[in-house]
Structure 1
């Protein structure tokens, strides 16, 4: 029997269940990119706050990239995952998937399709 740990979000105070169990089941948060450094100041975040915080950290990181650093960014060295996370890897617009910069960074190179959030095209050529 898997017993889910009861937690309270350290950001919004919402009660939620942590998926880590004594039997070794992994928490839902393990599906997200490992970009957080554990600290004693913050405990777990609920799924909503965790996704928002993760997305914010990714956007902050993307803003630091330059032409020199984008090709050798630390995202390509993260563990590979086949799971796409809405709000992290993509968002939906009029029923279409729009891939975010993090999705492109995980791939490691530009696909040359003119993607809206391509991080590799930091200085796009202006056309009239």
Structure 2
């Protein structure tokens, strides 16, 4: 799987040279693949590259939030969640659930209360 991910990364880098543009599926696959390999820094680099594009995809944000939560990186997942909300995207129940479950597992009840306060301050 590692070699497949390296091949995917090489193809990803060649896309721009061929005057093609990566889409949200490409970014999600790359992010997910790097997280599965435990290469979080590289996944975050791909996510940062995604952020710099004009592509709007709730799915890429959902993917990164989900993977960050699975790695126990709830603070970073919360930051991505806030960014998603500030961009004006609708949030589904699944995003809330995974964020709340992970926050509870890592920080307990008081962590969840802090998260609810953050969510409430973001508006409806």
Common fold: TM-score over 0.5 = no
Which protein is richer in helix relative to its size? 2
Which protein is richer in strand relative to its size? 1
TM-score (norm 1): 0.31
